Amino acid sequence: MGEVWRAYDTVTDRMVALKVLPAHFASDRTFQQRFRREAHAAARINNPHVVPIHTYGEIDGRLFVDMRLIEGRDLATVLASAAMPPARAVQIVEQVAQAVYAAHKIGLVHRDIKPSNILLDEHDFAYLIDFGIARVVGETGLTGTDAVVGTLRYMAPERFRVGEADARSDIYALACVLYECLTGGSPFPGDSIEQQVAGHLSTPPPRPSDSGAPPAFDAVIATGMAKDPERRYATPVDMARAARDAITVPLSVPDPNTQSHTVTAPARTHEASWPDAPTEPAQKPPHRDPSQHMVGNRTRVKRPWLVAAVIAVVVASGGASVYLLRAHTSTPGSTQTTAATAPPSAPSGGGTPSAGLTAVPSGPPTIAASIRVGNGAFGVGVDSAGHSAYVANTGSSSVSVVDTTSRTVTATITVGRHPVGVAVDPSARTVYVTNFDDASVSVIDMASSKVIAKISVGSHPGGVVVDPDARIAYVTNGDNASVSLIDTTTHTVTATVPAGKGPSRVAIDRTAHRLFVTNTDPTVTVIDTSNRTVIGSVALRVHPAGIAIDSASHTAYIASGDDASVSLVDTIGLGVTASVPVGQRPAGVAVDPPTNTAYVANYSGASVSVIDTTRRIVTGILAVGNNPLAIAVDPTTHFAYVSSDLNHGSLTVIER
């Protein structure tokens, strides 16, 4: 309904998506009332997987909605060629489920969930669009027609019977989308209205295993597409969780004392083996009060496009043998260790090992703990001296302070809207946090755990890195193709340097005095930090994601999400010197020079690849929480900290 244009907003100086409705709708007072109510309701949804509405109204006799412009393609286009791997299908459905659940919690039903209304950006971040035909549950009388709105192939049977939709109808539609992702075809065959209506009303839910999908998905689809709405999942998040369980196989932990390890490079995909199909049909969910269809337990808010805005963290730990470990989920603030021996205690200061430093470890890294933090864990920074880790929680607009010794959350600090990047200034004892939707940076005092300054920067700030020697913090401005330079003494912006299109991550070679900024061009902008000028650009084959730099070897490690690899760039010669295959959709990167190791967070692979930086090969794979995004390392203990599990928000600890 209507046309969507790529437009330039002269007031806010940004490109937007402008949806313009046909002229006759503006003359219909009933429709105009419905349009304004529904646009207002949709604008209230606070979830990263819903395209934000900037404004709406009428101009020159046409109703319009001004929305954020998303670069990407819709899911229908992706599925036109073939079905997708189960892991990718689940990842996309999980994101859409979060958007739908956020709408349900404020009483809004989408009513038209289908592949063409799901946009995917370059990192497979999903956006649910077109809430323009949704309506607030219980607000009857505004539609002015008995026509059923939506697409037949994804419509719940009750909509054909009574013409009404509630939250359970959206769950049914999402199950249809999951089926199509797994099989490449719609749930019921036929192009006529009669065939589709008959299929939804009387044909049993299809079995995706008949088309080659893992058998465990049969029960997921059977429950999600149950004819009786009461037999479906309680929430879309519950259905997404069941889909995740369908591809999850418990993994055993190897004996840490085992002496023999096989060293191989990992495959380019890391999907779990398919579990056997259940021998009994899915159990009927417990009876729920109808009022519970719209309200449930609060879940995380995950920032979709923020995968491209997450901070490039600094250093990480690694290993020397291939293994596969699964992190254990802990209750908030608790820890679980998988190794038989207790972790070494964190050192108290600098110097040689005899002066209190832990010697550089040589054994393979292991998953030590999973610490519950805030919703939507993104950027991570570590303060070695203060034995603390800082995690940006984009879903709750806060920062969790984690005691790295006790592995508990000791404070939660409110910052700006949707924080994504974190950088620690060890000299000034401060932490810099980029607030994606505030165009600002919050400065946290470590001693008091309070925000002591809020600095205005460019639109959609993402990556941040601090140079303690120069007393400058560098912040990427995603919408302005620039980098802001902040004086860490006065907390003011002192300069703005141009970058490429859509700058997102940033890292610094402190010995070469060069700043590297990843752009969506796909290029990397190189800035001379001594004179604040652009001195070069590195062209890449695909869009870069995370970046980390080993200043000693003058090597930048750049994650290339589209081809599941990490590119190694000479920070002096500015050329690509090698490419290392890693897991699916690598996002965050970190290096730990003393152990000759790099870590790579594989966003779609729910894993971390460990790279031997000397041999430039992957020597280990660690299974962590879903959607790992960022990694930071304590350079003293060589423990790595990985943000993951965006559904709840957790920090996985990797020790050696």
List, for residues 295-316, the tens digit of each pLDDT value.
Answer: 233 333 333 333 333 333 333 3
Write the DSSP assignment of 96-111 as a string of letters.
HHHHHHHHHHTTEE--
Report pLDDT digits (tens) over 330-384: 333 333 333 323 333 333 233 333 334 446 776 788 899 999 999 888 999 999 9
pLDDT at residue 148, rounded to an integer:
37
Whether the pLDDT of residue 12 is over 90: the answer is no
Pairing status of strand 514-518 against strand 505-509:
antiparallel
Residues of the chain above pLDDT 70, percent: 78
- Residue 521 pLDDT > 90, yes or no? no
Cβ contact 478:459 at 8 Å: yes
Answer with the residue of higher pLDDT: 532 or 4.
532
Supply the pLDDT for residue 1.
55
Contact 315, 632 (CB under 8 A): yes
Cis peptide before 281 (omega within 30 of 0): no
Angle value at C-alpha 284, between 279 and 289, nearest 5 degrees: 165
Is 112 a known active-site residue? yes
pLDDT tens string 584-625: 889 999 999 999 999 999 987 789 999 999 999 999 989 887
The residue from 112, 170, 479, 612 that is catalytic is 112
- 633/360 Cα distance (integer angstroms): 13
Give the least confident one: 147-156, 204-213, 442-451, 522-531: 147-156
Where do the domains of the chain lie? 3-68, 73-246, 366-655
Candidates 449, 404, 445; CA nearest to 428 is 445
Confidence class for position 52, pLDDT limits 50, 70, 90: confident
pLDDT recorded at residue 303? 34
User: Domain 366-655, CATH 3.30.70.1140 — does that match?
Assistant: no
pTM of this prediction exceeds 0.75: no
Question: From the CB of residue 420, how many other CB atoms can be counted at a distance below 10 Å?
Answer: 32
The three-state (H, E, C) secondary structure of 528-563, written as one string: ECCCCEEEEEEECCCCEEEEEEECCCCEEEEEEHHH
Query: How much is the average pLDDT of 453-460?
Result: 95
Top pLDDT among 442 and 247 is at 442
Architecture per CATH, 73-246? Orthogonal Bundle (1.10)
User: Minimal CA–CA distance to 605: which of 308, 378, 272, 284?
Assistant: 272
pLDDT at 25 > cutoff 80: no
3-68 is classed CATH 3.30.43.10:
no
For residue 203, how far is the Cα from the chain centroid? 37
Q: To which residue do tokens 């820890």 refer?
A: 335
Q: Residues for the chain: how many in total?
A: 656
DSSP state string for 428-453:
TTEEEEEETTTTEEEEEETTTTEEEE
Q: Determine phi and psi for 245, rounding to 5 degrees.
A: -65, -30
The sign one gets for the Cα dihedral 427, 601, 512, 439 is negative
Cα separation, 99 vs 110, in Å, equals 10
Question: What number is the average pLDDT over the span 142-162?
Answer: 63
| pLDDT band per the 50, 70, 90 thresholds, residue 163 | low
Task: Specify the 3-state DSSP secondary structure of 131.
Answer: helix
